[in-house]
Each structure stands twice: as structure tokens, then as C-alpha cells.
Amino acid sequence: MVDIDSGPTAWHRFRLLLGRVLANEHPEFRCHSIDLFSGDENELVKCLLGELLGDDGEDLVVLREEARYVPRISRISKIDGISDSSPVSGTDGPCRLQIGKTGSTDNLRLRPMARRDPAHDEVEIAVCAVGLNFRDVMKTLGIYPGEAPDANFLGDEYAGVVLQKGQSVTQFAIGDRVFGLGLGAMATHLTVPAAMLLHLPSHLTMEDAATIPVNLLHRLPCSSATGENAEWRKDFDPFRSGE
């Protein structure tokens, strides 16, 4: 399956998904999904033949004039040289992941941001891990309601370390490991109401905790209705039925 780079459409996405299904369910077909750049036709044919006749095991390829891209998953700490417990950073200072132009993940950029001191009932967090939800994908691809006030903010759930706290906050201390909900969590720093946070249980990693808040809120009504919540939420004492 071949696409000439002309901007993402529903048809492009359907063909990509179909290609992935074929590759997974019928590997004997050796299905390749190739995204080609717009350019000289002879050069495109040469690049395409090279991909189809090659045998390096890559079946999902993006070709651009400057490089050939294939999917890889790497820890950010291995790329930027930061430790696993450090806040994720891609610039010299505080930054936030923003959508440059909707329609493609290629347009995501880390942009400098200003930290905000917490109000009396707020806490500033050094973000160490963020959960990715389908809502973030919708925003990036431009299929999330554009008039929504949160359409340009990525990230809703996270885990991190308390950096600062307001005068009224007594349940958290500087340096506490916490997790919770907060709009625009895909950033190095986030200031949120203390009521949106929980202490991170010692047996959970930052990555584990960053995937919990949204699922937890979905689960609470169900567990309250069925009466099955006592044992399940022993680590989350601040939550009570009806809250």
C-alpha cells in the first residue's frame, strides 16, 4: 500500500489500518505500508522498488527526501541522557508538547512554557510520566471538536514529584511522589488543585500511576453500584462512594 504525501485524510488512515491488519493476519503476503514524498516520479519509482525488493524486515516505512523513517520505541532517558526519575525534557527549560498543525503527529513540537506558582490550594508538579489517551490522538489529528476550550492541550493524567505547594495544602509535602488529573499534562511542569492529586503507592512506578486516573474515574461508579469497591481501592483511600 503506497501513499504519496499529500496530507492525511480518512482514506489514507483506512488504507494504513487495512495494511496493518493484513500484515498481522497474513504475514505470507509480505504487505508493506509505504508513505512516499512528493517529488520526481523517477526518484519515487526508484525508492519504491528499493523498498519492495529489499529484505530488512521493515514493513512500515515513511520516505522523505532527507531520510527514511521506520517505527521505533525508545525510552526518552536513553535519548536525552536524563534519569528515569527526572522530569521529561526536550529543551533547556520548562516546556510543553503542543500541536503545531493538526492532522499528523509529525507536527507535534516541544515549546517553551512559563511555570506558574501555585495558589493557596494548588500544587506544582515536576511531571515524570504522562498517560496517552485517545482524546490526545483525536486532538492531534484534528478530529476533536475545535471549539472545545481544551482542544489545544495534550495530556490529562500524569505522575510526578511535588515541587511547590500553596499555603493551604497540608496533605502533601515537597518531594512527595503523586499522580492525578490535570489539563495539559504533557509538559515538564504542571500546576493543579491539590484536590486532583493522590499519593503514589510505593509499589507503583511513575509509568504505572500515569495510566490510572482516567480508568479509576470510569471504574468508581461501577464499583460503587456493585458494592465491589472495598478491597479494590484500598490504595486509594481519599476516594469514597458518591464523590
Residue type, 177: R
Question: What is the rounded CA–CA span in Å between residue 17 and residue 71?
Answer: 15
d(CA 197, CA 170) in angstroms, rounded, equals 12
Average pLDDT along the chain, 243 residues, taken 10 residues at a time: 52 75 82 78 81 81 83 61 43 84 85 94 96 91 79 92 96 96 94 94 93 77 51 49 50
Enclosing H/E stretch for 198? strand 197-199
Rounded CA separation 223/26 (Å): 41
3-class SS at 9?
A: coil
Q: What is the pLDDT, as a whole number, of residue 241?
A: 52
Distance CA 75, CA 99 (A): 22
Task: Please give the helix or strand (H or E) that residue 178 lies within, else none.
Answer: strand 177-181
Domain positions in the chain: 2-69, 78-211
Pick the CATH number of 78-211 from 3.40.50.300, 3.90.180.10, 3.30.70.1400, 3.90.79.10: 3.90.180.10
